[in-house]
Structure 1
Amino acid sequence: MKKKIFLIIILSFIISCKSDKKKEEVINNNATIYYLIRHAEKDRSTKNKDPVLNKLGLKRAENWAKVFKDIPFDKIYSTDYKRTQQTAFPTASSKGLDVLSYDAENLFNKNFKYKTDKQTVLIVGHSNTTPAFVNAIIGKKEHLQIDDSDNGKLFIVTVDEGVASLIIENHNE
């Protein structure tokens, strides 16, 4: 009986060591990983061209911070609009990072590629700029505008040795 318990303890230790190593390999790889989201729900009761988030949007922004809790972001980018800044802020705050601005008219250029090479980056955009950014990174025009009611789509683009792969997740409640 003591041998069985000892064997179980040893096997548990070995298994836990192996899983930790895999996690380190993922964190230490040389890929560039982009997480792209659209801003959370905005206040539609105003005609203001730069509205803030509504209550649901503020809640979603906090939820994104929870979704990204274990992601070791190096940088967080947003357009200069209040709704994108407010969406990015909880995640940036939880990581001790500033929210950096990007020009939605000049998306994935050489300078941006250079600044983000081999890093893990969150990019907060809009229903039209987020899919356009994804298309620019993957080098294909596959993704069109995000539906106006969809604030929970997450695009994860990994670029490893010049090859881009894409995962799309739905975080709508």
Structure 2
Amino acid sequence: MRSSAFRRGCAALLALAAVACAGVPTPRGPGTTAPASRFVVVRHAEKQTGTAAASDPSLTDAGRQRAARLAASLAEDPVVAVYATPYRRTRDTALPTAHMHGLQITEYDPRQPAPALVDALRDAHPRGTVLVVGHSNTAPAIAAALCACEVAAMGEDEYDHRYLIDIDGDGRVRLSDIPLP
């Protein structure tokens, strides 16, 4: 009978919809709705200092631990992309998150103006969570371009800023600066 076939078809569509929605971000607290997209912008973790490390330093032990904590903080997020500049310290900060989510790191040019980078990021990733690892002189500008708001400059000794920029389905933006211990 036609109504029986119709019900089976509806059930199949509902099952497909449930599977399709499985990767959609979930609400992040009581009374909140899930953001359509979330951008997590951080400065690279603690780097080696000294003459041998001057041009392209790697992370210190503390920096590797911070990179692992960053990855752990994003374990439940639907991370769809990970970006880092072509420097060892940013790639090493991004690597644990990329590995955890089975992603490759996409390099970007830190000299690119923040608004141009942000336009490309928003176009490429309208849904999901995107990690962007930058530098003390670029991370605040990237966060500011994403939220269209002011973000304070970052000191050369600050490694714990984690800017969360949530953009809902209506384009409303919310910035949070949540320290990463």
Q: Shorter-normalised TM-score: what interval?
A: 0.7 to 0.9
Alpha-carbon distance in 2 for matches of 1:53, 1:152: 14
For 1:42, which of 28, 44, 47 is the aligned residue? 47
For 2:143, which of 134, 140, 147 is the aligned residue? 134
Change (3 A) 1:96 1:41: same
Q: Is the 8 A contact 1:36 1:134 kept in 2?
A: yes
Change (3 A) 1:29 1:50: same
How far off its partner does 1:147 sit? 1.6
Q: Which residue of 2 aligns with 1:58?
A: 64
TM-score by length of 1: 0.78
3-state SS in 1 of match to 2:103: coil
What are the residue-to-residue correspondences of 1:10-159 with 2, within 5 Å? 25-26=26-27, 29=34, 31-46=36-51, 48-106=54-112, 107-109=114-116, 110-140=119-149, 142-159=150-167
Aligned residue identity for 2:67: A
Alpha-carbon distance in 1 for matches of 2:35, 2:146: 17
Q: Which residue of 1 aligns with 2:15?
A: none
How far off its partner does 1:29 sit? 4.6
Alpha-carbon distance in 1 for matches of 2:135, 2:122: 20
Deviates more, 1:36-45 or 1:108-117: 108-117
- 1:106-154 Cα offsets, whole Å, 9 max, x none, are 23433332112123101111111110001111113x1132122221111
The number of equivalent residue pairs is 149
Alpha-carbon distance in 2 for matches of 1:38, 1:24: 24
TM-score by length of 2: 0.75
Alpha-carbon distance in 2 for matches of 1:78, 1:98: 10
Aligned residue identity for 1:124: V
Change (3 A) 1:118 1:55: same
Alpha-carbon distance in 1 for matches of 2:175, 2:146: 10
Change (3 A) 1:135 1:30: closer
- 1:69-104 Cα offsets, whole Å, 9 max, x none, are 111100011111110000000111111111111222
Alpha-carbon distance in 1 for matches of 2:69, 2:54: 25
Change (3 A) 1:25 1:143: closer
Task: Report sequence identity in percent.
Answer: 30
User: Could you list the runs of 5+ residues in structure 1 that have no partner in the other structure?
Assistant: 1-22
User: Could you list the runs of 5+ residues in structure 2 that have no partner in the other structure?
Assistant: 1-23
Q: Is the 8 A contact 1:39 1:126 kept in 2?
A: yes
Where in structure 1 do 4 or more consecutive aligned residues deviate above 3 Å?
27-30
Alpha-carbon distance in 1 for matches of 2:35, 2:163: 19
Higher helix share: 1
